[in-house]
């Protein structure tokens, strides 16, 4: 049974990535690994000064759980097996590392559609994933 990693962040395009994976991989038994990534606490800067660490971690967990519940609901009843995962760290690295650890055969993810200029200035998670992995990556808009 193939394992497919789907990166989800709650955006419309990440939800479309789930639909795409079900449509293209769901005709045979497949496990969809739904992954959301939270940035490390250090990346929140000023927020840390006002919100106790325990409360911040609680909020991060709630946010991740909400995203994963929404994603898993999208796949319910579609004849696929779903597993949910949360990682903390750099988003692209976490996607690639999790796919490697789970021995996934492909990665499916939505794009933000920010365009080439913003990608050049800010960097693109999708571009970084493409450079970090040897797995096939499908980007869904």
3-state helix, strand, coil in the chain (%, to 5): 50, 20, 30
Query: In terms of Cα–Cα distance, which of 53, 52, 63, 111 is closest to 86?
Result: 63
- What was the pLDDT predicted at 141? 87
The domain locations on the chain are: 3-140
Below-70 pLDDT ranges, the chain: 42-51, 113-123
Burial status of residue 113 (CB atoms within 10 A of its CB: 0-12, 13-18, 19 or more) = exposed
| Topology classification of domain 3-140 | Rossmann fold (3.40.50)
- What was the pLDDT predicted at 3? 98
Helix axes 91-101, 125-132, angle to 10 degrees: 40
Share of the chain above pLDDT 70, in %: 84
Under a CB-based contact definition with an 8 Å cutoff, are residues 10 and 67 in contact? Answer: yes
- What was the pLDDT predicted at 122? 47
């Amino acid at each position: 049974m193939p394992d497919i990693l789907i990166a989800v962040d709650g955006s419309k395009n990440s939800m479309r990535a789930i639909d795409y994976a079900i449509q293209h991989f769901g005709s045979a038994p497949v496990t969809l690994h739904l992954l959301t990534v939270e940035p490390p606490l250090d990346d929140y800067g000023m927020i840390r000064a006002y919100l106790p660490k325990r409360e911040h971690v609680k909020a991060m967990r709630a946010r991740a759980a909400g995203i994963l519940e929404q994603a898993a609901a999208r796949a319910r009843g579609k004849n696929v097996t779903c597993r949910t995962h949360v990682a903390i760290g750099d988003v692209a690295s976490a996607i690639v590392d999790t796919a490697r650890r789970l021995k996934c055969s492909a990665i499916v993810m939505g794009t933000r559609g920010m365009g080439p200029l913003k990608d050049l200035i800010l960097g693109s998670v999708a571009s970084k994933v493409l450079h970090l992995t040897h797995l096939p990556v499908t980007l869904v808009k």
